């Protein structure tokens, strides 16, 4: 007498069910992979987050070396001649200025400026700064004023950490190596004037670049 064996048959419906379950499992694994990869995206962005950095100047003299950052000069400039800054040549001239850094080493911290300012004069404060390629926008291939700023404080002039206005454009541009920009404070276009015997101190200005 032959022993009867059980034969297991798998229907097409069962095979379809197994296939669907396997497909769903693989899809779940794939989905998890996508989520994990997506989770890494903001972390990568944060690692290269941009912001403002205080510029460390290498010198405060008339001849700031090529490719370096530095204060070129500071001026007490006629309000009526502000167009020299907002338009070409985008810079102050010592001949027009009422006072400026001396002719030997330009502006130096704590040093009185060269020149006398008559109480009848109305003037603004201007600072000429040379920037290295920190102010060069490699995306637009041009010098970019939005990448730099200057913040000043003067108790005598009632300026408290006030961001300066910027000249109309960079001047003396040297390819992508360096260029100069003039910043100024003009008291809301009213300028300032002094009284007889008055001494005015500009306490501090800090220069920043965006990176």
pLDDT tens digits along 106-123: 566 677 888 889 999 999
| Least trusted range by pLDDT, from 23-32, 75-84, 127-136, 151-160 | 23-32
What's the predicted TM-score (pTM) here? Answer: 0.74
pLDDT at 72: 86
Cα of 180 vs its chain's centroid, Å: 14
pLDDT at 55: 84
Q: What is the token pair recorded at 208? A: 């920043």
pLDDT at 42: 46
Q: How large is the average pLDDT for residues 197-204? A: 88
End-to-end CA distance of the chain: 91
Q: How large is the average pLDDT for residues 135-146? A: 95
pLDDT tens digits along 156-189: 999 999 999 999 999 999 999 999 999 999 999 9
pLDDT at 40: 45
**What sections of 48-169 are H helices per DSSP?**
83-86
Rounded to the nearest integer, the mean pLDDT of the chain is 81
Q: What is the token pair recorded at 156? A: 């005598």
Please check the confidence at residue 44 and state whether its pLDDT lies above 50: no
Using a pLDDT cut of 70, give the percent of the chain over it: 70
Q: How large is the average pLDDT for residues 97-109? A: 73
What DSSP letter does each residue of 83-98 carry, written as one string? Answer: HHHHSTT-S--TTT-S
Kind and range of the H or E element at 184? Answer: strand 178-185
Strands 123-131 and 99-100: unpaired
Kind and range of the H or E element at 131? Answer: strand 123-131
Q: What is the token pair recorded at 200? A: 């005015």
Task: Give the other-Cβ count within 10 Å of 4's Cβ.
Answer: 6
* Residue 176 to residue 136: CA distance in whole angstroms: 6
């Amino acid at each position: 007498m032959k022993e009867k064996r059980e034969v297991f048959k798998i229907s097409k419906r069962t095979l379809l069910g197994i296939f669907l379950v396997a497909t769903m499992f693989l899809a779940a694994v794939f989905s998890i992979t996508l989520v994990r990869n997506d989770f890494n995206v903001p972390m990568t962005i944060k690692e290269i987050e941009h912001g403002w950095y205080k510029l460390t100047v290498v010198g405060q003299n008339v001849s700031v070396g090529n490719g370096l950052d530095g204060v070129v000069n500071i001026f007490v400039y006629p309000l009526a001649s502000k167009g020299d800054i907002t338009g070409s040549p985008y810079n102050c001239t010592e001949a027009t200025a009422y006072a400026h850094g001396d002719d030997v080493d330009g502006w130096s911290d704590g040093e009185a400026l060269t020149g006398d300012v008559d109480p009848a004069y109305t003037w603004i404060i201007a600072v000429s700064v040379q920037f290295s390629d920190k102010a060069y926008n490699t995306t637009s291939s041009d010098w970019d004023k939005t990448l730099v700023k200057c913040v000043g404080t003067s108790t005598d002039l009632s300026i408290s950490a006030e961001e300066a206005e910027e000249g109309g454009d960079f001047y003396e541009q040297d390819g992508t190596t360096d260029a100069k920009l003039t910043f100024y404070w003009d008291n809301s276009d009213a300028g300032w004037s002094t009284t007889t015997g008055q001494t005015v101190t500009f306490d501090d200005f800090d220069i920043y670049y965006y990176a």
